A and B are shown apart, each in its own frame.
Chain A
């Protein structure tokens, strides 16, 4: 088939049979379905024929169609033997469409608007977009019975209509000049307000591929032209119903969503416009609604807080960002900064096709919890700082291992450890020496039960500065509880009291010692409150005084012996001055018992130096007193005796020096005169007697002078000298020759030693003893006198002078050494009674001793001990009257 038309450009010939392809910029009308030639080609193909085209622009076009002859090449089922003349409804609609396409008048459009305005209300509105006026009119006619119908002839106009009329559904042609169907769908879907409006695409392009493409672009349905009017109607109705249900569901869901206890904001687009401003936000911002506002406009204060950046990131990259306890500061409704903490996620919001439309923000305001946690953390920090700054040792043990978390310097000092040695370690690792001292169980018990543990004066052995030291400590362990009440550790507060305990133990020791001392001394104790005169007395005190507990001070004062009350008063007066009480008094101990007591007390003063208490002890000294009284009596007696003996001695000296000397002097004088005046007339023998008299009186004088010398020894400074006792004895024998001869006495002596002493005194001693033996001899028995000696083991000598005389009763042995003592009648035995007393004095002068052994008729033995050497000045040390 050839024509002379405008022809087809050469480069367009290949796409001439493509469906909906239009040759643009040609002289052809804009109208046309773009499916004509595609249909032709399809029909030719169905008949197994071929079609080709040749054309010259400006000259005309020639289509060449060729078919195989016959019908054998066609599928049997497709062969229709009779050609029907009836027209199907769709054929009818198609023809109507074709007619409408041809007509293209605008009146129907105006009518449609009028109708839609007139019948607007409960009827859903449908927008129809098509550049083909016939088609517009046709669909409008189809739908106007049930729907409000608005029309637009291209995509852009349709957008405006949609924004204006808010149709429930849009039916859009695909092939439109300018903004085509796909472009329109995309525009609608990306428009926040319009995107959910269902769109049915109408297209002449059949086939699954085209349909998928259409749906993929975001359309809700796809109808291929020609379509049945019924089908379109049903599909429109269905979609409207579906969208209504969906909207209802969405609305319900949205309500649900709005009622969620967490904040769920939805930001749309790259500007982060509030798509959803969740009501929960009002708890923070008050009665506002930021919907439709950009985040930066609504909350400019968030700009510097990293929020926008996160939203951008999510929007552009599709990642999900989650943050815990993120701090955000808002300006609250009062214009003040308010810090909130959120657990939040920012996640991309995809549309159904997987495109990111915005960001969903899910946030839980955890400000309260975070602040609570902060408070806990702060309180822990505070606890730690309290411990560090505490003036007493404090520490925290953590966990069941009791790890030393914090320990202040005082605690470290108490432990004698450095921080490095204990911090972060179990206490039993840091202080291994306390293992087995019982702290394990205590700590574990506090940790498991939460019961506080307090110890008083707990001994603990610590390795401090290299020494194991026993210390005493008061401490408290307290469970450290977390917010939820669980125990996570133990706080320990300790005060070392080692010094105090030691001091107290010393005091206790001292008190114990004092108590023992008091008990062993049999002392009664008492205490008087000086303000009230109230008394506390010990049982022993009560026993001594013969009183019962609770005795008053006045009662006790009454019991003091009348004559000793003055003593007591004076002692108390003195105690007021000195603080010390000390006196002795007799007391009436009840039942007629009088006791001597010694009272010693001490006044205790208060800080102002006023007397507070009198502490005292009382001792029963009755026995001592009686003893000392007896002693004193004895001393008095002895003193009298001594005085008497002194008097005796004085008298003796007097007698010796005067009275005794007088008669001797006279004998001497008269015998001397006899010799000188009458020698010529006296016989020779008489002159011999006179000579003996003269000799004896001279000896007598010597003796008297010796005694005088003895008496006045202390006035002299004689030194002792060696005395040969043999010579001494010979001299005595000579002196006593007359008596010895008269008594026919025998004197024998051993070879005696030389002793140190005073010759005159020693002479006197032995003279007296020998003389004594001669004097007290038995009447008819010649006296035998034996002088002997022996050396003493302790030094010195023992001399014995033994006789065979009359002897005496041994019971008088000590008596005979007393001055003027006589055992025998003066008539029978001459004597002054001084001899032996002199002997004793002389021996004692020589630091020796003398004793006598005797029995009646059995002789007498004097036993004398003498040192060989005399100490110097010995005689001047003693104090004698003469």
Chain B
């Protein structure tokens, strides 16, 4: 699942994941509340990974992360923070707030796909992708 207010990013993300594996189901949400709404509506299964954009209006990615981690039903889902620029400070914050990792948004489609694939593989028992910070 990707939570991002930017529709372009949601679109590219969906395309990229489909390119990686057509069997992977991608759910998207445009805001924190929308995401929670959708997650609460999932009765049979929860997403394997949640990608969460930091820079969102009203409820920021950080606030959203807090909400997710406060929800006992959702707290176990790994959350990868998604950010345009990756500062050391933000990496540290992500780690402290219980995120599984932090990934920078790519300005190249190929680069995006490569990173996403690595992260998805990791959470299916693969190697940690380069430039990814995980816990």
Which A residues form the contact surface with B (CB < 8 A)? 657-659, 661-662, 664-666, 668-669, 672-673, 676, 697, 701, 708
Contacts and interface: CB of A to CB of B under 8 A. Distances in A.
B8 A666 contact: yes
Contact of B55 (A658, A669, A697, A701): A658
A218 B84 CA distance: 180
B55 A665 contact: no
Given A662-B6, A697-B107, A669 B12 contact: yes
A92 B119 CA distance: 218
A673 B85 contact: no
A171 to B, nearest CB: 179
Given A658-B84, A662-B84, A669 B6 contact: no
A668 B108 contact: yes
Given A658-B55, A662-B6, A666-B8, A672 B107 contact: yes
Classify the interface of chain A: helix, strand, loop or mixed: helix
Interface in B1-47: 6, 8, 12
6 contacts: A657-B84, A658-B84, A662-B6, A666-B8, A672-B107, A673-B109
A648 B30 CA distance: 29
B85 A676 contact: no
Contacts of B8: 666
Interface of B: 6, 8, 12, 55, 84-85, 87, 105-110, 112
Contacts of B110: 676
Given A657-B85, A658-B55, A665 B107 contact: yes
Contacts of B108: 668-669, 672
A589 B96 CA distance: 64
A659 B85 CA distance: 10
A693 B55 CA distance: 25
Contacts of A676: 109-110
Contact of B84 (A665, A673, A697): A665
A669 B106 contact: yes
A651 to B, nearest CB: 14
Nearest to B108: A672
A666 to B, nearest CB: 6
A79 to B, nearest CB: 204
Determine which residue in B12, B55, B85, B112 has the highest number of CB atoms from chain A within 10 A of its CB, and name it: B85
A658 B8 CA distance: 16
A708 B87 CA distance: 10
Contacts of A661: 84-85
A676 B6 CA distance: 23
Nearest to B105: A665
Determine which residue in A662, A697, A708 has the highest number of CB atoms from chain B within 10 A of its CB, and name it: A662
Contacts of A664: 107
A662 B8 CA distance: 11
Contacts of A662: 6, 55, 84
Classify the interface of chain B: helix, strand, loop or mixed: loop
B65 to A, nearest CB: 17
A708 B85 CA distance: 10
Contacts of A659: 55
B85 A658 contact: yes
A701 B107 contact: yes
A664 B84 CA distance: 11
Determine which residue in A669, A673, A676, A708 has the highest number of CB atoms from chain B within 10 A of its CB, and name it: A669
A334 B108 CA distance: 157
Q: Which 8 A-B pairs have the closest CB atoms?
A: A668-B107, A665-B107, A657-B85, A661-B84, A673-B109, A658-B55, A669-B107, A672-B108
A669 B107 CA distance: 5
Contacts of A672: 107-109
A669 B84 contact: no
A701 to B, nearest CB: 7
A703 to B, nearest CB: 14
B60 to A, nearest CB: 11
Nearest to B15: A673
A664 B109 CA distance: 14
A668 B6 CA distance: 16
A661 B108 CA distance: 14
Nearest to B85: A657
Contacts of B55: 658-659, 662
B85 A669 contact: no
A725 B98 CA distance: 48
Contacts of A669: 12, 106-109, 112
Nearest to A715: B88
B88 to A, nearest CB: 9
B24 to A, nearest CB: 20
Contacts of A658: 55, 84-85
A450 to B, nearest CB: 108
A735 to B, nearest CB: 18
B113 to A, nearest CB: 11
Contacts of B87: 657
A393 to B, nearest CB: 91
Contacts of B85: 657-658, 661, 708
Determine which residue in A668, A672, A708 has the highest number of CB atoms from chain B within 10 A of its CB, and name it: A672
Contacts of B84: 657-658, 661-662, 665
A204 to B, nearest CB: 187
A657 B55 CA distance: 11
A661 B55 CA distance: 12
A385 to B, nearest CB: 103
B106 to A, nearest CB: 7
A659 B55 CA distance: 9
A673 B12 CA distance: 10
A233 B12 CA distance: 209
Nearest to B106: A669
Contacts of A668: 107-108
Determine which residue in B84, B108, B110, B112 has the highest number of CB atoms from chain A within 10 A of its CB, and name it: B84
A711 to B, nearest CB: 10
Given A662-B84, A665-B84, 16 more contacts: A657-B84, A657-B85, A658-B85, A661-B84, A662-B6, A662-B55, A664-B107, A668-B107, A669-B12, A669-B108, A669-B109, A669-B112, A672-B108, A672-B109, A697-B107, A701-B107
Nearest to A668: B107
A668 B12 CA distance: 13
B105 to A, nearest CB: 6
Contacts of B12: 669
A37 B62 CA distance: 204
Nearest to B9: A666
Nearest to B109: A673
B75 to A, nearest CB: 27
A668 B112 CA distance: 13
A673 B11 CA distance: 13
Determine which residue in A666, A668, A701 has the highest number of CB atoms from chain B within 10 A of its CB, and name it: A666
B56 to A, nearest CB: 11
A520 to B, nearest CB: 59
Contacts of B112: 669
Contacts of A673: 109
B62 to A, nearest CB: 13
B73 to A, nearest CB: 31
A665 B8 CA distance: 11
A841 to B, nearest CB: 20
A115 to B, nearest CB: 185
B5 to A, nearest CB: 11
A664 to B, nearest CB: 8
Nearest to B54: A658
Nearest to A698: B107
A708 B110 CA distance: 25
A652 B119 CA distance: 32
A658 B84 CA distance: 6
Contacts of A666: 8
B85 to A, nearest CB: 5
Nearest to B12: A669
